[in-house]
Chains A and B, each alone.
Chain A
Amino acid sequence: MHAALAILVALTAFFALAGALGVWLMRDVYQKLHYLTLPCSVSVWFLCAAMFVAEKQKQAGAKVILIGLVLFFMNAVVTQATARAAWVRNDGQWPPREPPPPAPPEAKG
């Protein structure tokens, strides 16, 4: 049981650290945004599993599941809002501009 707990906690920390390093190393805001997913969608469920292995109280487990759900759904909303804000700051409008229509073919003769 202690080994399972240690493995689950280590996986939680590993994916959280990987996400933090991704935010540090990637080049622009769109690439960095992808790494928010790791702690929000992976680490937090390993944390829930570790909490259920370690904790006998149902209330603590329910609170950690609630934290996991908040992080999981918050990630999608905040990531979309941040990406949209970055796009509007760079491009000036949302939705993005339509590409120009293709030039009509030249008439022969």
Chain B
Amino acid sequence: MNAWLAGTLAVGAGLLPCAAVALRAGEVMERVVALEMASVLLTLALAMLAEAMQRPIFLDLALTQALLSFGGGLVFARFLERWV
């Protein structure tokens, strides 16, 4: 196991607290924060996994994830503000 793979597993372990908050938090905005944190951690994990597998082309997945999580976070925030 190289350093990149170990780092990927460590960052992936950070998804567990996010999942716990997203499943059990009492307020919906706390769940959104957990979702945003999970998106960021997933972006980091995808970038590290691309390097661990020696496939730099897979960095596009991390970049796409970062951009889509930006839009998703804004949409959640906007709709949870008043309408949902």
Q: Do A and B bind each other?
A: yes
Residues of A within 8 A of B (CB): 2, 5-6, 9-10, 12-14, 16-17, 19-21, 23-24, 28-29, 32-33, 35-36, 39-40, 43-44, 47, 51, 54-55, 57, 59-60, 63-64, 66-67, 70-71, 74-75, 77-78, 81-82, 84-86, 88-89
Q: Is the CB of A82 within 8 A of B14?
A: no
Question: Which of A17, A40, A81 lies in contact with B78, CB distance below 8 A?
Answer: A81
Question: Which of B16, B66, B82 lies in contact with A70, CB distance below 8 A?
Answer: B66
Q: Is the CB of A24 within 8 A of B20?
A: yes
Q: Is the CB of A35 within 8 A of B37?
A: yes
The residues of B that contact A13 with a CB separation of less than 8 Å are: 6-7, 10-11
Q: Is the CB of A74 within 8 A of B51?
A: no
The residues of A that contact B43 with a CB separation of less than 8 Å are: 67, 71
Count of chain B residues with a beta carbon within 8 Å of a chain A beta carbon: 47
A78 to B33, CA, bound (A): 10
A66 to B69, CA, bound (A): 15
User: Which residues 23-57 in B have Cβ within 8 Å of A in the complex?
Assistant: 27-30, 32-34, 36-37, 40-41, 43-44, 47-48, 51, 56
Q: Is the CB of B73 within 8 A of A60?
A: no
A5 to B52, CA, bound (A): 12
Q: Shortest CB–CB separation between residue A32 and chain B, in angstroms?
A: 5
Q: Is the CB of B59 within 8 A of A60?
A: yes
Q: Is the CB of A10 within 8 A of B56?
A: no
Known: A19-B14, A60-B56. A78 touches B51 (CB 8 A): no
